[in-house]
Chain A
Amino acid sequence: MRFEEELVELLPRLRRFARGLARHASDADDLCQAAIERALKSQDQWQAGTRLDSWMYRITRNLWIDERRAAGRRGVHAPIDESVTQIAGDGAAEVEAGALRGDVGGAMARLPDEQREVVLLILVEGYAYREAADILDVPIGTVTSRLARGRETLMHLLGEAA
């Protein structure tokens, strides 16, 4: 199958991943567009026979990180949602259990970026720990610990109490 055709088939899933990262639909599609353009330009760096989806997820995720960093440098504190300030990891425990019951988007927005991307890759996109570690270019132990923390926070906020 042609590179472009494979990419087209991947688009619905890639949009889901981008939406999980960027949250707002238009931002997410901008991110997808940038990722596709980057992929088309770097096509020769993709090795046929390896998984195109992992490669695309990596490109998308790295563009997103670049964008977040650039926004930080410009002094723009780009919150995932205007009405939500991010509560990093442990701070979430102070919020009442089940405070965001039913609001998956709101709960995800409260996760630090590095936990949210792991949750998306493994719990939403269904990647194995090893595959997620490759996409994110971090050790597998980092993936499992971020996943555990992200998961606990989500369960707490969404009221999946132990």
Chain B
Amino acid sequence: MSFDPATVAAFVDGELDDLTARRIERDAVSDPALAAEIARHHALKAELAAHYAPIVAEPVPERLRALLIPRAAVDTSLAARREAKRMRFGPVHWGAIAASLVFGLTLGLQPWMPAASVGEANGTIVAAGPLARALDMQLASTQPSNTPIRIGLSFKDSAGRYCRSFESRSLNGIGCRDGDGWYLERTMAGQSGTVYRQAASGELAAAAAAMMKGEPLDAISEKAARDTGWTRR
């Protein structure tokens, strides 16, 4: 064989200049060892390609798509969110939205759980009841998997406030600690089924990423922040 193995490999990988490539092609016709070496390389490539090809054909999991196109991901609640968005800009409706959120939460969580998971302060929705307790105390790293309110990311926003994303059956959102309360800076309809859960997580994560200053808190700094009452530093 008149070519060294590295050159043959480069030939198969399409890395040779045209002139050398043509010489190899020509020689392979009359050099069985060279032809066999080329065939061996093609066989390996084909085997690798066949092994990995099905992955490209798989549908992309919704949790990944949702990170990039959150709006398309939850078509079914588009109307609900459009309405929520409209109301967010109308201070007149705060009472109404608060009431409906209370209703929603009461519906969604265990019926025996006390209502009033959101309240109103200074014209803004704040967390109350179980939601406030979860935001105050619950750590993402130690929460049980079946917790009715699941804490997602904890982070600091550009104003230096601690913010935490949460999900529950009827309400998802991000609360930011200011003074004594958790102000709900983002709210979106919770997912009562599990089907859209990952899509909702993606949307929340995207909202959190947009508000976040620096990195999200890890388990240690999350605990430290809780133990100091989520006060700004």
- Chain A residue at minimal CB-CB distance from B14: A128
Interface residues in A3-42 by Cβ distance below 8 A to B read: 4-5, 7-8, 11-13, 15-16, 19-20, 29, 32-33, 36-37, 40-41
Q: A11-B60, A36-B67, A148-B5 in contact; A155/B44 too (CB < 8 A)?
A: yes
Count of chain B residues with a beta carbon within 8 Å of a chain A beta carbon: 36
Contact: B209 with A37, CB < 8 Å?
yes
Interface residues in B31-89 by Cβ distance below 8 A to A read: 36-37, 40-41, 43-45, 47-52, 55-58, 60-61, 63-65, 67-69
Asked if B15 lies at the interface with its beta carbon under 8 angstroms from chain A, I say yes
Q: Report Cα–Cα, A7/B67, bound state, in Å.
A: 10
Contact: B40 with A12, CB < 8 Å?
no
Q: A8-B65, A36-B64, A37-B67 in contact; A158/B47 too (CB < 8 A)?
A: yes
Contacts of B43 in A (CB 8 A): 160
Contacts of A36 in B (CB 8 A): 64, 67-68
Q: A29-B63, A151-B9 in contact; A124/B49 too (CB < 8 A)?
A: yes
Contact: A128 with B15, CB < 8 Å?
yes
Asked if A122 lies at the interface with its beta carbon under 8 angstroms from chain B, I say yes
Chain A interface mostly helix, strand, loop or mixed?
Answer: helix
Q: Report Cα–Cα, A160/B57, bound state, in Å.
A: 27
Count of chain A residues with a beta carbon within 8 Å of a chain B beta carbon: 36
15 A–B contacts, CB within 8 A, in A order: A4-B68, A12-B55, A12-B60, A16-B56, A19-B52, A33-B67, A36-B64, A41-B212, A123-B13, A154-B44, A155-B40, A158-B47, A160-B40, A160-B47, A162-B40
Q: What 12 new A-B contacts, CB under 8 Å, besides A15-B56, A144-B6?
A: A5-B69, A8-B69, A11-B68, A12-B58, A16-B56, A37-B67, A104-B51, A124-B52, A128-B14, A158-B47, A160-B44, A161-B40
